[in-house]
Structure 1
């Protein structure tokens, strides 16, 4: 996890690049332990007396509920801060907001449009900052994804993952997460919608250490062939609604995950989606609601993976 320039002891999670392979292993192990304890009714108040602040520029279901519930289950509190209700809406700078909130909170999570906003928060806050989603990265989702894959496949290293669709924030961080854990990933994206070139370079460098192969193609058939995991996301992310007609014409039907695509993957392949999903667009209903889909496990694992991150960042374990 990234160490902020403002404090040698403060760590932030802004993207999967901030995590080493060892960090990811630690988070996976702790998340698994916390999940088992919760299911057995033996949850521990590891964050008693701690408060998480949550800034939201974008609407949310899974991010807000999983962070709030996670803090509650571990004996802490969470404060919801809509960006339209705090002084950011009246022109207070991100820098001043970060400094002020550092005096009240133990950790800060922000779900923002522009990744530079969460970077500024991390630079000026004296407390750990977590990226709850930005236009470039979504590390909390990828940690939940890796936890889900490990639960269903019993391993990470040596697997093959196919991404179909937009090379968006989830795709960027998934490339990094897969490369760091030894999962070979092929992203099938239309021309002009590929993941960030810098991220692809970083992922390939990480893959050289773990044996993971990283590839980007325009052909979804190439990506899906013999895949252990097939993943997609909405073709129209928040803030891209004005591009709906263009995006639908570019992505449909070539990049849709349907039964034919799943037949190209391994027989025991699983399907994943970060949600919310548009059945009939990026995925068909028979796949989304079919026996290979693990999207509900994936959604639940946001809670457990984030609880592990919160405990580690706030030094509760």
Structure 2
């Protein structure tokens, strides 16, 4: 069995490891500009088969601020775009760099990269999961509320990669999570079963108001993710009534934390007044991508002491 610290999902960290990464993220935020350079002399390949703003910039800056050298590899600007097998890319890159991050489509491509790489591989998003974003979400929620325990978490919208990673986080940390999804747009049944086996209180409902009642942290995402543009109109119909607006938000706790991984489609999955409102912490959440990227890179590369 490989001894490499791959970061495919949050479960690679485990409950204690997840909390340690969040603690390290807080330290990196507090010490920004004065922290040590654990990646000095090391290079990290940042491979993107999907477009990116926050993930790309946060990882590039994270590697650079840790003293390392980020090497951005896009599908369009490399042989990946011409069909070079991912296993070949993995073996070539891992002869030259010290870690690889991959933002891709199917989870199978990430698994293949991990199988053939001789350096740690980190999941920077797949169609099935987005653990790096969840680290930022958890960091933000904990920063605002002071704890992750004893809170009600709500998810509104598509049972997508973000929903799956929220379910995984709930399972690892024992959180109460209610997901409101339309019929036919449920999250992974396997993730739900696994979270319940771990003792989390996770449920899927069809009525957004039920999920929002007393919620302390609420998250949403676009209704049509990358690669689903052709389904846009169909999805807008299916998700009618699921927009996080002021009426729904009024059902949450008065100290509710509103999160959105961005980019946001104002007037579709979230109302402008909510996104720009006093309970919105989406900009802190976006910044948290930098600090959590540092922490998980240091963990994966075995530089966390």
Give the TM-score normalised by structure 1: 0.94
What corresponds to 1:192 in structure 2? 184
1:1-317 superposed matches below 5 A: 5=1, 7-8=2-3, 10-38=4-32, 41-206=33-198, 208=199, 212-252=200-240, 254-317=241-304
Q: 2:298 and 2:9 mapped to 1: Cα distance?
A: 18
Structure 2 portions without partners, runs of 5+: none
**What SS does structure 2 have at the residue aligned with 1:12?**
coil
Instruction: Give CA deviations for 1:22-55 in whole Å, capped at 9, x if unaligned.
Output: 11011011111111001xx412212111111011
Alpha carbons 1:167, 1:189 under 8 Å: kept: yes
Alpha-carbon shift at residue 89 of structure 1 (Å): 2.4
Q: 1:74 and 1:300 mapped to 2: Cα distance?
A: 16
| Worse-superposed segment, 259-268 or 90-99 | 90-99
| Worse-superposed segment, 299-308 or 88-97 | 88-97
Instruction: Give CA deviations for 1:285-312 in whole Å, capped at 9, x if unaligned.
Output: 0000000000000000011011000111
Alpha-carbon shift at residue 18 of structure 1 (Å): 2.2
Structure 1 portions without partners, runs of 5+: none
Alpha-carbon shift at residue 178 of structure 1 (Å): 2.2
Q: 1:183 and 1:243 mapped to 2: Cα distance?
A: 32
Alpha-carbon shift at residue 146 of structure 1 (Å): 0.5
Give the TM-score normalised by structure 2: 0.98
Q: 1:69 and 1:237 mapped to 2: Cα distance?
A: 25
Q: 2:126 and 2:221 mapped to 1: Cα distance?
A: 15
**What SS does structure 1 have at the residue aligned with 2:31?**
helix
Alpha carbons 2:5, 2:302 under 8 Å: kept: no
Q: 1:250 and 1:24 mapped to 2: Cα distance?
A: 35
Alpha-carbon shift at residue 217 of structure 1 (Å): 0.9
Alignment coverage as a number of residue pairs? 304
Q: 1:291 and 1:143 mapped to 2: Cα distance?
A: 22
Q: 1:54 and 1:91 mapped to 2: Cα distance?
A: 18
**What SS does structure 2 have at the residue aligned with 1:133?**
coil
Q: Point out 4+ residue stretches in structure 1 off by more than 3 angstroms.
A: none
Alpha carbons 1:188, 1:218 under 8 Å: kept: yes
Alpha-carbon shift at residue 17 of structure 1 (Å): 2.8
Alpha-carbon shift at residue 15 of structure 1 (Å): 1.6
Q: 1:72 and 1:225 mapped to 2: Cα distance?
A: 43
Alpha carbons 1:287, 1:293 under 8 Å: kept: yes
